Amino acid sequence: MRYIFRLVLVLVILAAIAVLAYSYVGDLTAQRESVETPVTLEVN
């Protein structure tokens, strides 16, 4: 039982390191571009 807790703890630590590494290395910025859509209004 002790080894299972140790394994879970190691996996949690590795997952935290992986998330931190991805947040620093991964490009998480959104790409922006201008969008123009013509709108026709019907007047009755």
Question: What's this model's pTM, rounded to 2 decimal places?
Answer: 0.55
- The radius of gyration computed from the CA coordinates of the chain, to the nearest angstrom, equals 25
Q: DSSP for the chain?
A: -HHHHHHHHHHHHHHHHHHHHHHHHS--PPP-------------
- Domain boundaries in the chain? 1-26
Instruction: Walk along the chain (44 residues) in steps of 10 and give the mean pLDDT of each run.
Output: 95 96 78 91 83
Is the alpha carbon torsion for 26, 27, 29, 33 positive or negative?
negative
Q: Which amino acid is at 22?
A: Y
- Amino acid 29: pLDDT: 73
- Amino acid 28: pLDDT: 65
